[in-house]
Amino acid sequence: MKSLKVLITAAGTVTCQSIIKGFRQQQELDVCITTVDASPLSAGRYFADRFFLIPSAPDPAYLPALFEIVEREGIQLLIPILDEEFMKLAQSRDEFERRGCRVVISSPETIAICNHKDKTSQFFSANGIATPKAWRADELPEPDRIPYPILVKPRSNGRGSVGVHKICNAAEFLLWKDRVQDPLYNEFVDGEEYTIDVLCDFDGRVQAVLPRRRIEIKAGVSYKGLTVRDPEMIRVGKLIAERVGIVGPANIQCFKTDRGLVFFEINARFSGTLAFSIAAGLNSPLLLAKCALGEKLQRRIDDFEDGLMMLRYWDEIFVHNGDKPRRVAIPLGEQGR
d(CA 244, CA 266): 9
Residue 317 lies in a domain: no
Give a yes or no: residue 319 inside a domain: no
Query: Measured on CA atoms in the order 144, 190, 237, 220, is the torsion positive or negative?
Result: positive
| β-bridge mates for residue 134, sequence order | 186
Same domain, 163 and 233: no
Query: Given 187, 213, 233, which residue is the final one in a domain?
Result: 187
In terms of domains, do 145 and 171 share one? yes
Pick from 215, 231, 225: nearest CA to 300: 231
Structural domain contains residue 320: no
In DSSP terms, 196 is beta-bridged to 211, 252
Nearest residue to 109 (alpha-carbon basis) of 135, 122, 91? 91
Tell me: do 238 and 138 sit in the same domain.
no
Query: Of the residues 187, 203, 228, which one is the last residue of a structural domain?
Result: 187
How would residue 222 be classed by pLDDT, with cut points 50, 70 and 90? confident
Q: Which domain holds residue 307?
A: 110-115+190-311
Average pLDDT of the residues in 27-33? 97
pTM: 0.92
254 and 201 within one domain = yes
Instruction: Name the average pLDDT for the chain.
Output: 92
Pair (153, 51) in one structural domain: no
In angstroms, the CA 76 to CA 4 distance is: 7
Question: Domain for residue 44, yes or no?
Answer: yes
User: Does 198 share its domain with 99?
Assistant: no
Q: Are residues 99 and 168 in the same domain?
A: no
pLDDT reported for residue 174 = 86
Tally the domains of the chain.
3
Angle of CA points 234, 309, 335, to nearest 5°: 160
Residue 324 lies in a domain: no
- Is the pLDDT confidence value at 59 over 70? yes
Pair (53, 151) in one structural domain: no
Residue 61 lies in a domain: yes
Reported as a single tens digit per residue, the pLDDT across 130-151 is 999 999 888 888 888 899 999 8
182 band by pLDDT with thresholds 50, 70 and 90 = confident
Residues 243-299 pLDDT 10s: 999 999 999 999 999 989 999 999 999 999 999 999 999 999 999 999 999 998 888
Residues 37-47, mean pLDDT to the nearest whole number: 93
* Residue 16: partners with Cβ closer than 8 Å, 6 or more residues away: 8, 9, 10, 35, 44, 81
Regarding whether 99 and 23 lie in a shared domain, the answer is yes
Predicted local confidence at residue 299, as pLDDT: 80
